[in-house]
């Protein structure tokens, strides 16, 4: 069956979508993601979707380091945000094909190399795929992030910033949720956390990161697009719901 990779831009996003939440075009999360995507594309973000026949089978989202929503110091590098292949389509080489296109694009533009942030937790790609394709671990950041890079030139290497504690210290007291439109599910989690904070009597503040620069400067973790902080302590870098928040706080009181 024919498979084709489509490059998504504002002119065709309504036709091909953005892979996630494709069945819910009227939902707030869908509309928020679409607006985020258009604004981020104006900054330099790119998105490719691979199709297996008429069905989308995987995607890759990436951006130059200067426009990355991951918290990295990677000017001149192409930073891969997300890469995903649907389970039923794994083993067909689709991830490799998507990576090859990103590699060719970065080389054509004279960039220094490729980079990606990985974590052993959820919401980020595991590093195995990248290691098999010539990436190496070049830096680490708390709580469990690794920066993977595949340089095209040997004199340039990306890294993480080192001001993580200072970022937490300048966060307002109470429960603070940093979020963005990068994932259509973020709004649902923010609402759940706000409701839980109200039930627990916790001061609550949601801070939307509206540009990649804000994410790189303000985010409490290398994930960049979401973070939950309570009284200066990072509770989670990835989305969690109100029930999980309550469990984390109860466990910390024991």
CA distance 34 to 22: 11
- Domain covering 3-151 in this structure, CATH number: 3.40.630.30
pLDDT of residue 238: 92
The pLDDT of residue 166 is: 97
Helix (H, G, I), strand (E, B) or coil at 185: coil
Could you report the per-residue pLDDT of 77-118, keeping only the tens digit for each? 999 999 999 888 888 899 999 999 999 999 999 999 999 999
164-253 CATH: 3.40.30.10
pLDDT at residue 29, as a whole number: 85
DSSP 56: E
User: In tens digits, what is the pLDDT along the chain, a chain of 254 residues?
Assistant: 478 999 999 999 888 888 876 667 778 888 999 999 999 999 999 999 999 888 889 999 999 999 999 999 999 999 999 999 988 888 889 999 999 999 999 999 999 999 999 997 767 877 999 999 999 999 999 999 999 999 999 888 999 999 999 999 999 999 999 999 999 899 999 999 999 999 999 999 999 999 999 999 999 999 999 999 999 999 999 999 999 999 999 988 75
Which residues have CB under 8 Å from 3's CB, separation 6+? 50, 51, 52, 53, 57, 92, 94
Sheet of strand 226-230: strand arrangement:
204-208, 175-179, 226-230, 233-236
User: pTM score, two decimals?
Assistant: 0.93
Nearest to 218, CA basis, from 166, 174, 154: 166
How confident is the model over 235-247, as pLDDT tens digits? 999 999 999 999 9
pLDDT at 90: 85
Containing 55, the helix (H) or strand (E) segment is strand 55-64
3-151 and 164-253 in the same fold: no
Domain boundaries, the chain: 3-151, 164-253
Contact between 245 and 228 (Cβ < 8 Å): yes
Angle, helices 28-43/186-200, rounded to nearest 10 degrees: 120
Residue 177: per-residue pLDDT: 98
């Amino acid at each position: 069956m024919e498979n084709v990779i489509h490059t998504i831009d504002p002119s065709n996003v309504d036709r091909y979508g953005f892979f996630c939440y494709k069945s819910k075009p009227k939902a707030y999360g869908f509309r928020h993601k679409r607006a985020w995507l258009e604004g981020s594309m104006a900054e330099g973000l790119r998105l490719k979707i691979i199709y297996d026949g008429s069905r989308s089978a995987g995607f890759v989202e990436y951006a130059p380091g200067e426009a990355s929503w991951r918290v990295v110091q990677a000017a001149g590098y192409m930073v891969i945000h997300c890469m995903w292949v649907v389970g039923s389509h794994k083993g067909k080489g689709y991830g490799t094909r998507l990576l090859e296109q990103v590699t060719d694009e970065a080389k054509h533009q004279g960039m220094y190399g490729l980079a990606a942030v990985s974590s052993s937790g959820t919401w980020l790609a595991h590093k195995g795929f990248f290691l098999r394709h010539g990436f190496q671990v070049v830096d680490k950041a708390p709580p469990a992030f690794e920066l993977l890079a595949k340089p095209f030139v040997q004199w340039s290497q990306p890294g993480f910033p080192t001001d993580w504690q200072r970022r937490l210290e300048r966060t307002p007291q109470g429960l603070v949720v940093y979020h963005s439109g990068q994932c259509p599910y973020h709004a649902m989690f923010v609402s759940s956390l706000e409701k839980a904070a109200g039930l627990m009597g916790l001061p609550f503040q949601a801070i939307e990161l509206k540009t990649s620069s804000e994410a790189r400067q303000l985010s409490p973790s290398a994930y960049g697009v979401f973070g939950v902080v309570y009284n200066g302590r990072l509770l989670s870098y990835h989305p969690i719901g109100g029930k999980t928040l309550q469990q984390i706080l109860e466990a910390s009181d024991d």
